[in-house]
Amino acid sequence: MSAGQFLLILVTAQRIAELAWSRRNTRRLKARGAIEVAPGHYGLIVAVHAAWLLGLWVLAWDRPAAPGWSAAYLALQVPRLWVLATLGERWTTRILVLPEAPLVRTGPYRFMNHPNYLVVAAEIAVLPLAFGLPRYALAFSLLNAIVLAIRIRAESRALRERARPQAGLPRSAGPGRAA
């Protein structure tokens, strides 16, 4: 097995594990009263990410992986794990709002509102570059930017609407920060 194939196996296993964890967290959050917001765009997100990964398997499975870009991709796993550790059972791939839950403001969320989206955007660009696919990286970066624009707008709206009825109280948790 080549280093490139190992990298593709690693990212595929990671994404499958994250989807399973997200499903578990989503069930638990909904059982606690979380409400899903703007689910209409979720299929588009799944389609873009699945196409990105499937396309990498088709185009890159037999290509060597550039050590520098591969290292950059692996380095991105540090902030990814930081986000996941910070959110724990609150992490999900859907936009969920749990009434009365405070917004997470620890870990990377002390510095920015959407650290996970930044990591994912970087991964979508960096992994194809590891396989010498700059046009692929650009195309999927643009698709991801479109999907993220929709998602971040929906997430921000959910947080604003959730905060309005409870003036003076902390804003409730939003997507990926929902419990």
Nearest to 56 by CA among 119, 116, 139: 139
Sequential pLDDT tens for the chain (179 residues): 999 999 999 999 999 999 999 999 999 999 999 999 999 999 999 999 999 999 999 999 999 999 999 999 999 999 999 999 999 999 999 999 988 888 889 999 999 989 999 999 999 999 999 999 999 999 999 999 999 999 999 998 987 777 554 433 333 344 455 43
The most distant pair of C-alpha atoms in the chain lies apart, rounded to whole Å, by 57
The confidence score (pLDDT) of residue 99 equals 82
Report if residue 177 sits inside a domain. no
pTM: 0.87
Cα–Cα distance measured from residue 100 to residue 57, given in angstroms and rounded to the nearest whole number = 43
Residue 35 lies in a domain: yes
- In degrees and rounded to multiples of 5, residue 38 shows phi and psi of 50, 55
**Segments forming the whole domain that contains residue 27:** 3-166
Domain contains 175: no
Has residue 173 been placed in a domain? no
What CATH number is given to the structural domain containing 120? 1.20.120.1630
Residue among 89, 77, 150, 146 at smallest CA distance from 116: 77
* Other beta carbons within 10 Å of 155: 22
How far apart are alpha carbons 131 and 68 in whole angstroms? 11
Look at residue 91 in the predicted model and tell me its pLDDT: 96
pLDDT value for 6: 96
Residue 175 is predicted with a pLDDT of 47
Report residue 27 as tokens: 């069930």
Among 97, 105, 113, smallest CA distance to 165 is for 97
What's the domain count of the chain? 1
